[in-house]
Structure 1
């Protein structure tokens, strides 16, 4: 027999019988003691619930202080009783729905339940609104690991707070209590079928907190048109602000909100997801969409490093982004972050291509005075060394962007071919940029009419390139072999400078300085040496070698070859001319003075345009060299 039918039988049997009716015990079965006990227990549950619910009913005239006090302030034992009575009331409602759906007790219980839910809704709002500071995302996120073990709204929460003692601050104590209260109310309302009411309140209040936090971080919704119209200085300031804001927003604001939302609505996965998504979606889309707007702006080399900063920030925060926004309904946010990465990567590749093109298109025809380091060399190498600071990011961006050549290129200009590590792509790319620069410098060396000066120019610029590589992260990308090969190239340029710049001086002396020659020949050699040496001196006092080590190596190399050769000739032929009239003008330089004159060279000061004659017997230079530390 259906249970409804059974209820009708039992209901009829419990009604009074006429006096002339047969004995109850002889005509119908006895009442079920279990049923009577259950029904009376449910009625008792309703009575207990009514006393507490009425007490805290703000619309009831019997309520003494429901509009003044909070159910969850002070002694929280009554709040526990209240929540327990609601659970018991729900049990009673389920019982009467199953056993007697037309019972007045069911109507009474339903009315009490509505009243209780209104009260809990008010309490939920009060706790959220009055604890904005203690429940701010920063406070919640800083305690993320302890919140997961936070007790439900039971007696042991108070035990936890007492046990914690002075180890937690008052703000933390208030926050833990508020979170437990919110979870308890949410659990109660959700299980009672009133989840929508508390969810609506939660979304409104918490979204305002998240939006306010993003506003204070300077996160502003901008259109592509607005970003494109910004001056670079203004946009760069916004990028700097975003780089700071995104770290705080992800690690604190969104993380703290996810923790709080998951804790309060632990009873329902669907509610957790919908709440968190609605609260954070708008702000997160604005935050993660900004880098894409920047990436779509006009590309220029000056924007490269800020673009890399944006890419690096997202890639570093991606594990947190993926974890915090793990819900299916957050897929659009994850997609937005990925889209920003893709667009930023595309922008970096475009700017690298443009940078390479700008090197190749450099058309300046002005030579650097003295063969010094060209401005293009300084600019390109400074740019490349900065790129080296982003090697990990660039390796990620360039992983699927191989460099292709139309014709074979010398291996000496590239890292070792056996290096197939994660940085191989960026290593080859940077080596290629250096090669493009060096090729351009070869063309600029042709602007010098003096071949020796053109070689000095190449030596200076390649030495600058090598120094920049050795003093930066580029060294680890290009490798020791690359450095060694280019240092050898510097030596080749230096040797060519020496050969072309001093060939006339060396050829002005006889191949065998000890060979017997006539006084007239001796005079001729001295005259030729004087003319050649003075010409070289005049030129090379205006030439420059900025690198001290290279400058000293060049002068020492010349001195080691020239001074001994000249000394031999000087000592063998000076005496024969000493008695002739005007020999002082022929023998102008003592061997020991040549080093002093050579020391003046390659500083680019141009002050040594002439040489004062000195006596052949003089053992000291005819001009002061104190400025060079001698």
Structure 2
């Protein structure tokens, strides 16, 4: 509303309040003497008529640094009020009482005008950021009553504020002025008029602040019809503005309202509720609307952001909206937390179901990391960043007894294991069981073990490099590192069995040159076949790749090196050439160093079945209990 329009609300209609009724008990109170009553009326009339709203005096009582006239005005009004009580106890229809009543109406119009002026002219200094930055309630209370306002000298005021920043100084001065007027108007029975001005001005500031923050009122139907991209923008705006809204806007308004109306608990609580409840309902109702939006697992992170924002601000929310008059705001914030928590639990359940329902059967080329592994572990590692609030959310949502985890996978659950620890461990187990089934789609058993090693390595590395390492613990990591070693060992034993079996069982035993030459030829054939096939396989993780190659070089190299050293010369003497001995010990190492980069062209699953047919399927060897 334009300023001119706001002024017309306050000042173009007569004040409707009358002098508060005097209880019958007042007749027993001591009354002022006639001379004192007359003196109070004379002083009051002098000030009131000089500062009446239609006076030719330019300016305001509460303006600049000089408050001497304002103090005297307040003192004259309070004297007038006392005289009215004294006159009413004697003769409620006396001419002096009617005269006093007329003066009080004019005085209240002036104070109401002054009150509005202070609120309007000091918007910059009474903004929530400035008010909430005022040092403390005790600092504010240095001018907390009419009597303090009357007695404080200008020298004392300047001295007390020498070290205070200009914004805080002006803010405190305006707050003291507002309190002095409010105390006077409330104590003389004109609190309703004072509160009316305050509510209209301050509520407009809250509305303006919400507009600047970009937080708008939305209905359930409007939110449901929004595209997710549009709603996501509004969520991010809300997340950016909610802290400012609570810690600056509402906290600042509460500080100001509590100070200005400190003389009446009921007035300050009702007044603050009326200026803040609409904005607070919009602010804390929005997350609940989001919680009811269409659910997909990817929305869980921004939903957690909403939950975390309210949870982090709860101490401030609980304090600011602690009165009975604002209890509905607390209820709305709690309702949003409950709905968001339910949404998050649903999304986690749907995420688990999505893992279980993933049904692709095409083997991943070259035994690499499955997209499901990447997706699930990225999802869970991001979730681990919210482990604190997730613990609260899943605290009353334990794993069902039928979902208990095998000891070989998790060990024995401990009493101190948090709910989210068990939940994350379970989700990873669901993934690993799914990968166990996918390993069966490879024709080559050795490749299936390499696939499992690659994927478990990815899982463990994600755990090690995220908050999951603190949640699942070192025992979990060590247990699964051992399992990676087991998969690697089975890959080497099965994948290179033809190479190992091409050499004599005892490479140190004495054999004939013909037998040695035949063994060299068998080894060349077996190594070439295995090498050609496995150059198309891949181990993306450098650490795992190096470990496998080092162990292969050590195991094959030890056997072949011993055989090579003992029989190379003998075979050459018999055959007259080294054609049968095509690989030196160094050549073997060079070839092995080229493995696991996926350079070969062999299609997945087309490995020779001659090596796999004599070995049981890896899935039948109990890698993961299901």
Counterpart of 2:219? 223
Deviations 1:340-376 (A, max 9, x none): 0000000000000000000011111221211111111
2: distance between equivalents of 1:49 and 1:514? Answer: 124
Shift of 1:160: 5.0
Deviations 1:360-399 (A, max 9, x none): 1111122121111111101100110011100001000000
Contact 1:388/1:474 (CA < 8 Å) preserved in 2?
A: yes
Contact 2:513/2:574 (CA < 8 Å) preserved in 1?
A: no
Matches within 5 A, 1:264-343: 264-343=260-339
Contact 2:41/2:83 (CA < 8 Å) preserved in 1?
A: yes
Alignment partner of 1:42 is 2:37: yes
Counterpart of 2:63? 73
Question: Which runs of 5 or more residues in structure 2 are unaligned?
Answer: 1-23, 604-626
Counterpart of 2:345? 349
Worse-matched range after superposition: 395-404 or 227-236: 227-236
Matches within 5 A, 1:2-41: 38-41=33-36
Shift of 1:581: 5.1
Residue of structure 1 aligned with 2:484, choices 490, 496, 500: 490
Q: 1:473 to 1:577 in 2, by over 3 A?
A: same
Q: 1:402 to 1:528 in 2, by over 3 A?
A: same
Q: 1:526 to 1:269 in 2, by over 3 A?
A: same
Matches within 5 A, 1:467-616: 467-580=461-574, 583-606=577-600
Larger radius of gyration: 1
| TM-score, normalised with respect to structure 2 | 0.88
Alignment partner of 1:236 is 2:232: yes
SS at 2:152 equivalent: helix
2: distance between equivalents of 1:196 and 1:165? Answer: 33
Counterpart of 1:461? 455
CA RMSD of aligned residues (A): 2.0
Alignment partner of 1:122 is 2:113: yes
Shift of 1:512: 1.5
Q: 1:467 to 1:564 in 2, by over 3 A?
A: same
Shift of 1:110: 1.0
Deviations 1:543-577 (A, max 9, x none): 11111111111111111121121122222222222
SS at 1:367 equivalent: coil
| TM-score, normalised with respect to structure 1 | 0.87
2: distance between equivalents of 1:148 and 1:260? Answer: 10
Shift of 1:579: 4.0
1: distance between equivalents of 2:85 and 2:202? Answer: 34
Counterpart of 2:131? 140
Shift of 1:78: 1.0
Q: 1:582 to 1:532 in 2, by over 3 A?
A: farther
Shift of 1:41: 1.1
Counterpart of 1:151? 143
Residue of structure 1 aligned with 2:245, choices 243, 249, 253: 249
Shift of 1:166: 4.5
Counterpart of 1:11? none
SS at 1:150 equivalent: helix
1: distance between equivalents of 2:314 and 2:156? Answer: 35
Contact 1:138/1:256 (CA < 8 Å) preserved in 2?
A: yes
1: distance between equivalents of 2:72 and 2:520? Answer: 118
2: distance between equivalents of 1:185 and 1:94? Answer: 20
Q: How many residues align?
A: 570
2: distance between equivalents of 1:227 and 1:73? Answer: 48
Question: Which runs of 5 or more residues in structure 1 are unaligned?
Answer: 8-33, 610-630
Counterpart of 1:56? 51
Contact 1:89/1:113 (CA < 8 Å) preserved in 2?
A: yes
Contact 2:405/2:426 (CA < 8 Å) preserved in 1?
A: no
Deviations 1:249-308 (A, max 9, x none): 000000000000011111111110111011011111000000000000011111010000
